[in-house]
Copies of this chain bind each other. A is one copy, B any other.
Amino acid sequence: MLQQTTFTLESRPRGFHLVTDEVVAGAPDLGDVEAGLLHLWIRHTSASLTVNENASPDVRRDFESWVNDAVPEAATYWTHTLEGPDDMPAHIKASLMGPSLTLPVSGGRLALGTWQGIYLCEHRDRGGAREVVATLVA
C-alpha cells in the first residue's frame, strides 16, 4: 500500500524548528498502519529536515549557532553571491542536514525514540512557506 500527499509547512524565521505535529497532520493518516515507512521530501534547496532532541529550545538554538559557524557567510570563497549573503550558505546547510527523512511507523504512530522530534531547518533569512511531499509505504 502506498499513499502520497503534499502539504505546506508555514513560514518560519531562520533557525531550527520542531514540526512533528505539523508533519503528522499533513502526512497520510498513520492510524491504521501496523508497520510501515513514512518518507518526507522538502521541495527546496535552502531548507532541510532532520530529527533531534524534542524538549529543549536551547538545543535548536545551538544547532543554528553551530551551522552558522560551520558554514560562515563571511567565507572568502563564495562565488554564488547574487541572492544575498545567506543564500549560498543555505544551500550547503540544506545538503548537510538533508532534504528528506524516512521514518519508521509502528502501531499507528511514528516509531520515534522518546526524545526524537522532526526539525524543519530554515536556512534563509526569509524562506517563506515550505512544501513537503509525504509518501507512506505500508
Contact = CB atoms under 8 A, between A and B. Distances in A.
Interface string A54-67: 00101101110110
Most chain B CB atoms below 10 A, which of A3, A50, A58, A135 = A135
A9 to B, nearest CB: 13
A35 interface: yes
A61 B69 CA distance: 20
A31 B7 CA distance: 24
Q: What is the copy number of this chain in the assembly?
A: 3
Contacts of A69: 75, 77
B41 A104 contact: yes
Interface string A16-45: 000000000000000000011101011111
A108 B123 CA distance: 31
A119 B66 CA distance: 24
B104 A80 contact: no
Nearest to A97: B95
Contacts of A114: 43
Interface of A: 2-4, 35-37, 39, 41-45, 50-53, 56, 58-59, 61-63, 65-66, 69-71, 75, 77-80, 88, 91-92, 94-104, 106, 111-116, 119, 131, 133, 135, 137-138
